[in-house]
Structure 1
Amino acid sequence: MCVHAHPDDESSKGAATMARYVDEGAQVLVVSCTGGERGDVLNPALKGRPEIEDNIREIRRSEMAQAQRILGFEHHWLGYVDSGLPEGDPLPPLPEGCFALAPLEEATRSLVEVMRRFRPHVVTTYNENGGYPHPDHIRCHEISVAAFEAAGDPEAFVDAGEPWQPLKLYYDVTFSRERVEAFHNALVERGIESPYGEWLADWEERAATMRMPKVTTRVYCADHFDRRDAALLAHATQVDPQGWFFKVPLDVQREVFPWEQFELARSLVDTDIPEDDLFAGVREKARAT
């Protein structure tokens, strides 16, 4: 189970890993906590078009359905409303009724119900910083951690289905310093302008203000990078096809960094770090029983 804040997050974080496991026969469920209703149109070719911006909720649902077909996962809308990304100084208040203001216990119960019904062995989500400090990403982290702990507790949310305990909880690590450096150096060596130089220049400053993720697990998924990109491009309102995300050619990515990365946050099975499989320890437990 992969728990995300908005439609498109699933295609930019761990998508190639999902595609690999789907192809290997695993059941994969993506939970989208919100519908992305307050997301801006980020594709310059679509920005400013009333037929797009006035119907963003329906369009983002259609985009999600296309990404789902490309990657092959199951999907569930948790049903909350996008909080938007507040901007300004001081920051404006969050809109009433949005996901980030939903009571933690209520939102956790909603996710526990889905966990108990789907019965995942492995759950992925964001770390305490949300990957980036969007209020919906922070709330997504909070309910994912709380639901992981509560889903197997027979005394918690007794009306939310039969208890089921997931065995491992991971945080997505989309851009580690190692990955950014690998991409930056590969582009520079090939005479291609790199969008990552500024990231690296500011890395220490960011590291001083927040905890940097600890990579415990690398999943080889280079053969699925094309499906990842196709799924992300399916979210046409949310991504610029000429933007920085697509600056590193796929053949270069496969050569210099053929993995997606995760941080193991909680495990109820024995496993050796570093890992190369989200199901490490889970497969052994299944065989033993």
Structure 2
Amino acid sequence: MAGNSLFCHFRIEGPKHLSTSETRRPTLMVIHAHPDDEASQTGGTLARYAAAGFRTVLVTCTDGRQGNGVDGCKPGHRDHRPEQIAARRSHELAMSKVALGISDLVQLDYPDSGMPESANDTDPRAFSRLEGEPITLQLEALMRKYQPDVVVTYPPNGLSNHPDHVRTHELTVAAFGRIRKAGGLPAGRDGETGPERRMPKLYYIALSVSRLKAARTRAEATLGPGIWTPPLEIGVDDDSITTAVNISGFWAHKLRALAAHASQADASALLRVLNVTGQENPVEEYILADPPWSGGEQESDLFQGIVGGS
């Protein structure tokens, strides 16, 4: 069980020591709340940059223990076993990592908060209720370790207002702010402490209303009216989207990663929809948060303006 102390239950899968050639690769760090979020929201992006030779670092903040148990049982059911569920979801995450070609997987393993107002939402040990300072320090340390050029996380509302998503946003932004206050990261990305510094770019995951509507229309036409699709309420105005990453060459990778999370009903429902809606011009959308968007033509590359961009 993860606690409040720094680096408690801190698991890293990937190279333990960073060689000069490794650290000089352009690096994308994506910070998510739960296992399966990486596939549903950023799977194509992770796969695209991994295939291009970039270093891709995935951080998951919780262990997912409040997800579906055996036969889909929910928290509070007598057959719901949080420890077993966390172990299974870790295994599924490992399979997703392979499907997406992720370089490094860091699991902070804090207890999943579950949905708001659920029976388990009162657990004081849950990620969204823990003291933020130790976790902010963890995330700051990870940014210093991997020295990303781009950091991706949720927008302020966490996309869905899930407390773990919102908390992940808050703590990631706090850690990013400390990097900024310190003057950035070493410009050489090789651990040297020379005078030249740089700041990573910070992006928020986004879904445009127009694409959500189009996906709903295609899903209902193929699977019938009433089929579950991502709610329009999580969408943002199209004009808010600053960056659209084309993942047409990596759609299959995204679907394989999502299929790896077979124990979770939400992942399975989304997979069913994406199987019939995502083949036409698939993109994953983002909002550039730092540096602030100055307008102009929409980006197609998270690394635009950075040496080594794809």
- Whether TM-score is above 0.5 comes out as yes
Correspondence for 1:167 among 185, 189, 200: 200
Deviations 1:55-114 (A, max 9, x none): 1121111111111111111100124221222336xx886312221122222211110001
When residues 191 and 123 of structure 1 are mapped into structure 2, their CA distance, relative to the original with a 3 A threshold, is closer
Aligned partner letter, 1:221: I
How many residues align structurally? 269
Report the secondary structure of 2:50's partner residue: helix
Aligned residues of 1:66 and 1:234 also touching (Cα < 8 A): yes
Mapped partners of 2:225, 2:42: distance in 1: 26
When residues 247 and 84 of structure 1 are mapped into structure 2, their CA distance, relative to the original with a 3 A threshold, is closer
Aligned partner letter, 1:75: L
Greater displacement, 131-140 / 51-60: 51-60
Deviations 1:168-189 (A, max 9, x none): 111111x321111222333456
**TM-score, normalised to structure 2's length?**
0.74
Aligned residues of 1:215 and 1:263 also touching (Cα < 8 A): yes
Q: Does 1:128 align with 2:161?
A: no
Mapped partners of 1:242, 1:60: distance in 2: 14
Mapped partners of 2:153, 2:85: distance in 1: 25
Aligned partner letter, 2:204: Y
Deviation (angstroms), 1:271 = 8.3
Q: Which residue of 2 is the match for residue 264 of structure 1?
A: 288
Aligned residues of 1:167 and 1:268 also touching (Cα < 8 A): no
Unaligned runs of 5+ in 1: none
Correspondence for 2:211 among 155, 179, 193: 179
Q: Which residue of 2 is the match for residue 84 of structure 1?
A: 114
Q: Which residue of 1 is the match for residue 257 of structure 2?
A: 231
Aligned residues of 1:168 and 1:268 also touching (Cα < 8 A): no
Unaligned runs of 5+ in 2: 1-28, 185-190
Mapped partners of 1:6, 1:64: distance in 2: 9
Correspondence for 1:116 among 113, 131, 144: 144
After superposition, the CA RMSD in angstroms is: 3.5
Greater displacement, 91-100 / 221-230: 91-100
Deviation (angstroms), 1:267 = 1.8
Identity %: 32
**TM-score, normalised to structure 1's length?**
0.79
